[in-house]
Amino acid sequence: MFGILIYADSKGMLSSRNISKACEHEVPFRWISGNIAPDHRTICRFRFNHEKDFKKFFNETLRLCAEADLLRLGKIFLDGNKIKANAALSANHTLGHITKILEEDDAVDKEEDKEFGESEHGERLPKN
């Protein structure tokens, strides 16, 4: 489940419902999940119950990748040149940024629960 959440967050996917659907329909999610599509409530509960563990796991993953020379952690120097690109300093992932992502994930799930109801997957029209 940690792998699913890390991959979803790296893709900017905040909604537990969308993650659940992706585990059914998208090959990378199916591969990570072992071809099992967890229910959106399961994903939401797991995220809530393991928030502290998720932060530790994410940091440990980065450390292991650095040890295996898959990435290098260190200082990055910027020269100040302005270059048009689709990257931003705000996109850098720090522990504070990870916390913010988790809070956004939770907010999106709560908003969808209000719209669709806690037990619904969101594939039906909301009651009005």
Residue 83 belongs to some domain of the structure: no
Q: Does pTM surpass 0.75?
A: no
Residue 104 belongs to some domain of the structure: yes
pLDDT in tens, 40-56: 889 988 988 988 888 88
Domain that holds residue 69: 2-77+92-116
Enumerate residues 6+ apart whose C-beta is below 8 A from 17.
40, 109, 112, 116, 121, 122
Segment 6-19 shows an average pLDDT of: 85
Q: How many domains does the chain have?
A: 1
Residue 23 belongs to some domain of the structure: yes
Residue 105 belongs to some domain of the structure: yes
pLDDT in tens, 75-89: 555 566 666 666 565
